[in-house]
Structure 1
Amino acid sequence: MSAKTLLNSLFRYKADADDELLDALSALSEEARSDTFRSALRVLNHAHLVDRIFAANLQRLDHSFTASWSSEAPPLAQLASDIRETDGWYIDYTARIAPDEMEEVVGFTFTDGGRGRMSREEMLAHVVTHAGYHRGEVGRLLPDIESTAMRDVFTGYLHRADPARRQ
């Protein structure tokens, strides 16, 4: 399996896990939407901002982000829509990127003004692992979603996406 194929599969998994988590959050009752719920949205928003920052970096585009955290997150419906749109962008990007582009090192500026250099492959790996870390953090913040979601494992995704793997 090539790095391109693996990364595309990982981004499909990320989108699937994000969908599951977002659906579980949407299903929470209003009573369950506490300060902890708002903290969970801030964590998801942070992960999303990093996704957007690195999407700009991968395209060698400037972005307007001056921080990867914000004191307030958008409402869940807006955040879910934005996350799903960005997940789609990464799936498309990893499907069409040429293998030689994966190794290209790209210079960029972090939100604190510091300079960085990473290969596109490294940036993509960062985005997918960073998002997984924060999905887990949200799962720990909101144990109520455990009963409706959080089968956040790559093997589970692969077998749901391709049931023939179970034979």
Structure 2
Amino acid sequence: MSHTTLTSLFAYKAWANTELFSLLATLGEAQAAELHSCLRTLNHIHVVDRLFQAHLGGPACPYSATNTPDTPTLAALREAVAACDAWYQDHIASLSNADLAESIAFTFTDGDRGRMSREEILLHVITHGGYHRGNVGQILKSLGMAPPRDLYTKFLHQSEPARRQG
């Protein structure tokens, strides 16, 4: 995969997260239980992002499981996710093709050992987050709300309007 594609995918991830957090901020007290479910799912994404960030050589990760016992507030999680998204974008910009191919050994939170290339880890982070943002979208649909259109095509055409021209 090219650096251009990875850069675009992680910009898309940050955009999709921003869109989703903005919509969640509109939920009221009547939707507190559903918001909590959404936050649990988004926190899981964030914790997994942080675990793999540490595997990639980023800051040490304070988590020993794929979610935390306590649920962060929407504001705190939004800020933490934005910082992590920025780290991934900066990290990708620093990588060479040889770096992307580098194999990294690590231990999963359940104690199983794993080995993936940097590129595979980065693709896992993208696909894992997209899968679970879809779960949050289903919760929003159950409330009669249209979730953000978390589509790579929408992101590309919104961020590069010239793509819409002949």
TM bracket (short chain): over 0.9
SS of the aligned residue for 2:25 comes to helix
- Pick closer, same or farther for the CA change 1:90–1:146 going to 2, 3 Å: farther
Residue matched to 2:47: 49
Residue matched to 2:36: 38
Q: Percent identity between the aligned chains?
A: 46
Match of 1:113 among 111, 114, 126: 111
- The equivalences for 1:139-150 within 5 A come to 139-143=137-141, 144=143, 146-147=145-146, 149-150=147-148
The alignment yields a C-alpha RMSD, in angstroms, of 1.6
8 Å Cα contact 1:139-1:145 kept in structure 2? no
TM-score (norm 1): 0.92
8 Å Cα contact 2:107-2:114 kept in structure 1? yes
Distance 2:26 2:60 in 1: 36
For residues 96-139 of structure 1, what are the alpha-carbon distances to aligned partners after superposition, in whole Å with 9 as ceiling and x for unaligned? 21111000000111111221100000000000000000100001
Match of 2:80 among 82, 87, 108: 82
Match of 2:68 among 67, 70, 88: 70
- The equivalences for 1:10-25 within 5 A come to 10-25=9-24
Match of 1:154 among 152, 155, 158: 152
SS of the aligned residue for 1:24 comes to helix
Question: Larger RCO: Structure 1 or Structure 2 (Cα < 8 Å, ≥ 6 residues apart)?
Answer: 1
TM-score (norm 2): 0.93
- Output the amino acid matched with 2:23: A
Instruction: Please report how far the alpha carbon of residue 4 of structure 1 lies from its aligned counterpart in structure 2 after TM superposition.
Output: 1.7
Stretches of structure 2 that go unaligned for 5 or more consecutive residues are none
Instruction: Please report how far the alpha carbon of residue 3 of structure 1 lies from its aligned counterpart in structure 2 after TM superposition.
Output: 2.3
Distance 1:145 1:88 in 2: 32
Give structure 1 regions of 4+ aligned residues with deviation exceeding 4 angstroms. Answer: none
**Residues matched between the structures, number:** 164
